[in-house]
Copies of this chain bind each other. A is one copy, B any other.
């Protein structure tokens, strides 16, 4: 995870990744669109690749870089563990939990009733 975040923590790398969202692109295309020197783009792509965020496939003498699904899935799974913090649906879940607790109080070993 940390590597993923580190890869996206650089502004230009972030821009590259965002650009790739539109579809696979060769290096010089990226370099042109984002006004970056080709070597820096290659270096950034290397980092993104090592972080598992992009993948390459050679097309003649050029390389097509594309967003890699798996990394995003991992990121999503990670984020999912924090869902309770921001998803309103968890409020409903909280409600359910309350209900269950109430029920338990009634059925299980007859502790006193209610508050």
Contact = CB atoms under 8 A, between A and B. Distances in A.
Interface stretch (A31-39, A69-77, A104-112): A69-77
Interface in A17-67: 21, 67
A75 B8 CA distance: 12
Identical copies of this chain, number: 2
A14 B5 CA distance: 10
A82 B5 contact: no
A85 B22 CA distance: 11
Contacts of A10: 2
Interface of A: 1-2, 5-6, 8-11, 14, 21, 67-70, 72-73, 75-76, 79, 81-82, 85-86
